[in-house]
Amino acid sequence: MAADDDRDSMRAETYAEFAALVGGLAHEIRNPLSTIRLNMELLAEDFADTDAESPTKQRDRRARAKIELVRQECDRLEKLLGDFLDFARQETLSPEPGNLNEEIEQLLDFFSIRAEEAGVEVVRYLDPELPSIRLDRETFRSALLNLLLNAVQAMEDGGQLVVRTRAAGLGVLLELIDTGPGMDSETLGKVFRAFYTTKQGGSGLGLPTARKIIEAHGGTIDLESTPGRGTKVTIWLPAPPRLPPRDRPAAGRQP
């Protein structure tokens, strides 16, 4: 047992060192990248007047198009670095007792405009008898928001997203069921791999980061999908055991 504890401690220390290393590297890359992007914006202002049809102005328009391409790539790399830092960060949670339904309701109210713009109807089936659980609200919301965005982005022509909660064993279940195109078994087997993505411009770190956050809460996340029939995400989170009521002292007796 002691040897196992030592190995776990060494792995934790190694991971912490690795996370600090990659975090520092990402920040070192982000700083010059921000400088490049800023200078591209300033350079674009020098080519802003491109209305005339002279050869010089045509050249300016071509230069502006190239500058805009560089700016877009800078934006993409900055997003990738942000996603990578989220993935590499060692999660230190501060869980507090809370109501999962309330957290979902608040996030869906915030998310509703995005869903409406995408033509997605969000249907809520939230069990009112759901037991309380312990959540780190900030990290859990970021994971759930990523999953909601994935579902909406998958339904390019609109559709329906069912959000359902219920008690399950010693915990609670949260299910997200969309009517998107679904995934074949090969794609489904790769979705939790870092940097694997089927989305244009995606980082491939959203789902791995979401799983990392869910597992840090002591939970699990599973995906089921069928081509042409949509995808179902199932999250299980443990509920703390309920303490038995304390015995009341008999009348006339001091506790």
Task: Kindly report, residue by residue over 94-107, the tens digit of the pLDDT.
Answer: 788 889 999 999 99
- DSSP summary character for residue 122: E
Percent of the chain residues topping a pLDDT of 90: 27
8 Å CB contact between 137 and 99: no
Name the more confident of 122 and 3: 122
DSSP state of 165: E
Per the prediction, the chain carries an average pLDDT of 79
What is the pLDDT, as a whole number, of residue 63? 79
**CA dihedral of 114, 117, 122, 128, whole degrees rounded to 10:** 40
C-alpha torsion 246→247→252→255, nearest 10: -50
* pLDDT given for residue 191 in this prediction: 82
CA distance 95 to 218: 11
What pLDDT score does 89 carry?
63
**Among the residues of the chain, which ranges form H helices?**
2-46, 55-88, 100-117, 137-154, 185-188, 206-216
Least confident of 6-10, 136-140, 230-234: 6-10
For the stretch 142-187, pLDDT in tens is 889 889 988 998 898 999 999 999 998 889 999 999 999 999 888 8
Q: What is the value of pTM for the model shown?
A: 0.66
- The mean pLDDT of 212-238, rounded to a whole number, is 91
| Mean per-residue pLDDT, 237-241 | 85
pLDDT at 250: 46
User: 86 pLDDT exceeds 90?
Assistant: no
